[in-house]
Structures are given as C-alpha cells and as structure tokens.
Amino acid sequence: MNDTFLKACRGIKTEYVPVWFMRQAGRYMPEYQKIRQKYDFLTMCKTPEISAEITLQPVSILGVDAAILFSDILIPLEGMGIKIQFIEEKGPQVIPTIRKASDINLIKEIELSEVDYVFQTIKILKKTLKVPLIGFAASPFTLATYLIEGGSTKEFVNTKKFMFLEGKSFHDLMQLLTKAMRKYLSEQIKAGVHVVQIFDTWAGILSPFDYDLFVKPYINELINHLKEVPVIYYCSNTAGLSSNLREINADVLSIDWRIDMRQAAQIFKNQPLQGNLDPLTLLGSEEEVLLRTKKILIDGQLAKSHIFNLGHGVNINTSVDMLRRLVDFIHEFRIKEVPNA
C-alpha cells in the first residue's frame, strides 16, 4: 500500500507531499454522472457495491494518495430515527426538526445495524484499495445545525436561538450526538478505515467564546475515544478560530483557504496540517492554479508535515484534467531547502 498519506498524518516528513481532495468522488466526474443517471443519491450511498465503485473512481483517474468513503455526513441520522432527503436544487432536508428541549426526545440512540451498508462498503474497499481509506462523520455541532435548521441555511437563526435560549438543552443535544458519532466512527474503524476525518463545516459561524463553550469540549471528547487511527479535524472559516483550534486534540488539522499556510504553520507548531487551496481557483487558468499550489507546498514545509488538499470540497464545475495535472504537479514537486520560518 502507498502509505505516504499515513506517514504525513503521523507527522513524518515525506518524499513528496501526499494529496487527496474533499468531495473527490462526485458530481464533477463523468464516470460519477453515468451512475447518477441510474440511481438517486441515497440509493448510491446505501448500496455498498455502488458506493465502493464511486469511492474508487478518483483513485484510478486522478492518482490521489488516499480514498475517502463515498457517503454523506447526514447518513448516521437514519440510524437515530431521523428521516433525511436530498432534493434537487434545494439540498438536504431533515425531518423532524429539533427546535426545543422536548424535541430532543425524538432522537434515539444510534442503531448501527440501520446504517450497516456504510460498514459493508468499507469491507469491500479493503479488498481492492492500494491507498489508505478515509472514513468520516460530521462533528456533533455541524450535525446539530442540520437537525435544528432542517437543512442548509445561511444565518443559522434557529441554531443560535436554541443555543442562547436553552443552553443546557443544547449541551444535552451535543452530548447525545457526540456519543452517536463516537459509535459510528468506531464502527468504521472496526470495518477497516485507516484514518477518520471529522467535518466541522459550520463551526465557523460561532464566536471564539461560543466555539469554546459549545464545540471544543465535544470535539475533544470525540477525538479522545478514537485513538486506533489518525484523526483529521476539518473546520471551515478557520482564521477567526485559530487560537481556539490550538487546543483541539486531532492528529491533523485541516484548514480552509482563509488563512495563509505559512501563518498556519507558525500558529499550529508541531501540528500536521492539511490544505488549503481555494477550490474555485481550479476554475481559473493552470498557471494561476500552479502558482498558488507552489506557494502552499513551500509554506507547508514549515509545518510538522503537510497533506495537500482544498480548503473545501471540489466544485461541480471543476475539470478532471485540471485536477489530474494538479496531482501530477504536487507529486513531482520537490523542495531542496526548507523556507525560513
């Protein structure tokens, strides 16, 4: 197995910078679209053979150093008595919504047997993959926002109203979700993933004070129960929370493009870093893409170790050829001298 990615996760400097992309298995890829024409999104997630096939596509087509399980962060809610739907042009929908303390009773403890297809997909992939497999889950807070808002939103009014009006109940919800994600990720590890990534997609909506109060204790509790494999923590809108993130116990911190890689390496000393090209850069010219990539690769040498990734997921309009050229550039890039800190 190509273990370059795993070495970087453990803080080991590697011969070349390993690379994979969030949402690397998805809508921008023609091979994915062919499958999507036959099945709806949830059917693809729930059919292990299809999910495994989609997971493998970018590994063979792009030559990335890791595969990430094709699934969705909302999937475990189905094991907790919550219905999820994916509606074209509207996005994910969660039923019922959790808007007050008594609503928390609508959520049951996770039944892993109800999402067993996830673990079956991992077992299939273990037989064929020649690169490490990344399992994943949403953070308790990000999962809570979908439960409270009922889907995607821009202002998170209901989430913050719940937090600030019924703080104790919000903590109860966070504890319930932390326990569920611990079980869910532990079962992924048992099935055979080599690394897990926690997606805290919406934690950046919070002030540093509220991040420390409502997010950090639960993230650290979750990570502390997942010691069998390296844990990557991804938090969007990283810049405003940089001081807070220094106290997260993850093996790797994945940052978005809103913070400079050199600055991040100075803030998070002795911390493996993952990131952090703006995904929409890939819609520009190859010259501009490689210019920014080279800077990230050079500055990433200041970190304990570096895994190249985007600051968010691959955009649907991204060219497969552009991504393939980017992977080749990263694999071939060598730095003779470490830049000055």
Calculated CA dihedral for residues 128, 133, 138, 140, nearest 10 degrees: 120
pTM: 0.96
Please identify which of the residues 28, 32, 65, 146 carries the catalytic annotation.
146
Q: pLDDT exceeding 70 applies to what percent of the chain? A: 98
Tell me the C-alpha distance between 209 and 99, whole Å.
Answer: 23
Q: Is 292 an annotated catalytic residue?
A: no
Mean pLDDT, range 44-53, rounded to an integer: 98
The CATH architecture to which 4-332 belongs is Alpha-Beta Barrel (3.20)
Q: Is 325 an annotated catalytic residue?
A: no
The verdict on whether omega for the bond into residue 96 sits within 30 degrees of 0, i.e. cis, is yes
Q: How confident is the model at residue 100 (pLDDT cuts 50, 70, 90)?
A: very high
Q: Is 16 an annotated catalytic residue?
A: no
**Average pLDDT of the chain to the nearest whole number:** 95
For 184-242, the pLDDT digits (tens) are: 999 999 999 999 999 999 999 999 999 999 999 999 999 999 989 999 999 998 788 99
Q: Is 72 an annotated catalytic residue?
A: yes
Of 27-36, 114-123, 275-284, 332-341, the range with the lowest mean pLDDT is 332-341
For 168-188, the pLDDT digits (tens) are: 999 999 999 999 999 999 999
| 3-state SS, residue 29 | coil
Mean pLDDT, range 120-132, rounded to an integer: 97
Q: How confident is the model at residue 340 (pLDDT cuts 50, 70, 90)?
A: low
Please identify which of the residues 3, 16, 36, 292 carries the catalytic annotation.
36
Tell me the C-alpha distance between 122 and 280, whole Å.
Answer: 30
Of 48-62, 128-142, 231-245, 297-311, the range with the lowest mean pLDDT is 231-245
286-300 helix and 320-332 helix, angle to the nearest 10 degrees:
40
Q: Is 117 an annotated catalytic residue?
A: no
Please identify which of the residues 3, 10, 16, 27 carries the catalytic annotation.
27
